[in-house]
Amino acid sequence: MLVHVEYQTDEKLNWLVSEFDVLEHADREKGYVAMLVEPESYERLLDEGFAVEIQHGPTEELANVISGFRSIGGYACYRTVEETATTMSTLNTDYSDLVELVDMGDSWNKVTPGGASGYDIAGMIVTNENIAGPKPRFFLMGSIHAREYAPAELAIRFAEQMVTDYGTDPDATWLLDNFELHVLPHANPDGRKIAEQGYTQRKNRNTSKGWCSYPPTSYSQHGVDLNRNHSFKFGGAGSSSSSCNLTYRKSSASEPETQALQTYMSSIFADQRGPDDSDAAPDDTTGLMITLHSYSPLVLFPWSWSASGAPNLAELRTLGRKFGYHNGYPVCQTPVCLYAASGTTDDWAYGTLGVAAFTFELGDSFFQSCATFESTIEPDNIAALRDAFKAARRPYQTPAGPDAVSVAVSASPVTAGTSVTLTANVDDTRYDSNGWGSEATQNIAAARYTVDQASWSGATLNAMAATDGTFNSTVEGVTATIDTTGWAVGRYLLMVEGQDADGNWGAPSAVFLDVQ
C-alpha cells in the first residue's frame, strides 16, 4: 500500500526513514511522509501510534504493476538496460566524432562469481572530439534507485537530443564544441533488471545477506542502497544498518557501483574544495553533476546529511532556482523540505570535489506513466538540463547572470556584404523556487555577442545596445547591426550574453547566420 504517515518530530521522521520504505515525498508543513508498506508494516505503524492514511488510488495503480515477473509491459517509453546500451552503441557508431562509450566499472553481479552475469556501469561522453580540451564537464546520472523508471530514460534522451541536434540547433552546437557531457543512464543495472519485472527493488543486487526477501518487498529486499553508500558523511541520518532495510548502507563505499561512481567523478573533476565542512568551493569552480531520481517533484541541493547550509549555499540555491523556473519543482535543501540522508551521491560530489551537485526528483510515481513522462517530465526537465549544461563552466557564477533568450537574426542566409540585425531578449528574472524563497533580480547593464568562439576563449567581444535606448529594467531587448562585408561563405555561430547591474554575465544563447 502507498500511505501517508504523520509524524510530530524530526526524531520520529528519522526513525521512520531508518525502519521503513520511506519515499522521496513528504510535506513538512502538514507533517507527513509517503511510504510503501506491506500489511505487516501497516499494522506495526499503527501499533507504534502513528496516524496512517492509505492512498487508495496510487495503491490500486501499484497493484496493477506489481504482479510478478515480466518485461516493462505498458511502459513502452522506457528502455531496458540492454536497450539503453544498444542506443549508446548506435550513437557511437552513427556519430563517432561526438560520442565516446565509457565503461565506468562493474555491477555487483558482474564482480561476484557463481551468480548472474551482471553488467558494466556503462556510460558515454558527448562532445565534439575535433575540438581539443580541456573542457568544462557536466555529469548526468540516472536511476541509482532501481525502481525509478523515468530518470534513466530522461538521461539517455537528453544525451540523444544533444547529439542529434548538433549542427542544427545553435545551443547544442556551441555546447558540444566547448563542453563535455558525461552520461550514465543506469547507475544500478542489476537492481534495474529486477525492477523491470514489476518489483519495487530499490537497492543493488548484493545477496551476501541471504535472509532478505525475494521477490523483494517494501520492507525486505537484498542489496545495498547505493545512495546511502558513498564515503562522504557515511553512516548518519536517513540510513539503516539493517541488511534487509531499503536504506541499508553496509560499509563505506563497499559496493562496486559506488566505487565506480566515485572513481569516475574523481577522474573528470578536480578536487576544488578544502577538507573542512565549512570550506567553500571557490567562485571559479568548474564542473556540475545531477543525479536523477523519482518520485516527488523536487530540486534538491547539499547538504543532505545536515540541515546546516553548505558553504556554497547561496550559489547552489541560485542555480537550483534556474532549474525550478523550467520544471516548476520546489527548490530546497534535502533535510529542510524532505528528510536527512547521509552517504548520498550529491553530497559526495560537492563535499569531496566541490562541484555543484543536485538531485532532481521527477514526477509522481516510480512507474511513471508514459503519457505524463512524455508530455510533462521530459520537456520541462530537458530545458532545465540545458541550463545545467550551460552552467557547467562556472556553476557558482554564471547562474547569477541574466539569460539571453529569443536570439534571432533579421535574415539568413544572406549574401556577403549584407548588413544583418541581431536581436535578443536579456532576462534577469528567470528564477523560481516554487515556494522556497525568492531570488534577487537586477537591471540589465550590458549585452554582447561573439562570432564562432565563446567569450571566455579569446573571441572578439562586440557590444549590443538596448532596443529602447537605455538599460534600465530587469528584462531588455538588445540589438546589434552586423556588417558581413568580407565574410567568407559558410555558417557562423553568433553567441549572445547579458550582464546585470551587479556585474554578473549570464550563459550564452546562440543563433546561426549563413553567408552565401
DSSP annotation of 314 reads: H
Dihedral of CA atoms 300, 14, 4, 149 in degrees, nearest 10, equals 50
Angle at CA 184, nearest 5°, toward 182 and 186?
175
The CA distance from 456 to 485, in Å, is 25
Dist. CA 257–CA 206, nearest whole Å: 11
The values of phi and psi at residue 11, to 5°, are -65, -40
Structural contact between residues 282 and 353, judged by C-beta atoms closer than 8 angstroms: no
Strands (E), 371-459: 403-409, 419-427, 444-451
109-130: b (≥16 Cβ within 10 Å) or e = bbebeeeeebbbbbbbbbbbbe
Residues 484, 417: contact at Cβ < 8 Å? Answer: yes
Cα angle 200, 259, 16 (rounded to 5 degrees) comes to 40
Q: What is the grid cell recorded at 95?
A: 556519430
C-alpha closest to that of 229 among 260, 245, 251, 207: 251
Catalytic-labelled residue, pool 148, 180, 361, 378: 361
Q: Which amino acid makes up residue 513?
A: L
Phi, psi of 490 (to 5 degrees): 155, -175
361 is catalytic: yes
Is the C-alpha dihedral spanning 245, 247, 250, 254 positive or negative?
Answer: positive
Contacts (Cβ under 8 Å, ≥6 apart) of 265: 139, 289, 348, 349, 353, 355
φ/ψ of residue 471, rounded to 5? -85, 100
Sole residue written with cell 552552467: 391
189 prior amide bond cis, ω within 30: no
* Active centre residues (catalytic): 361
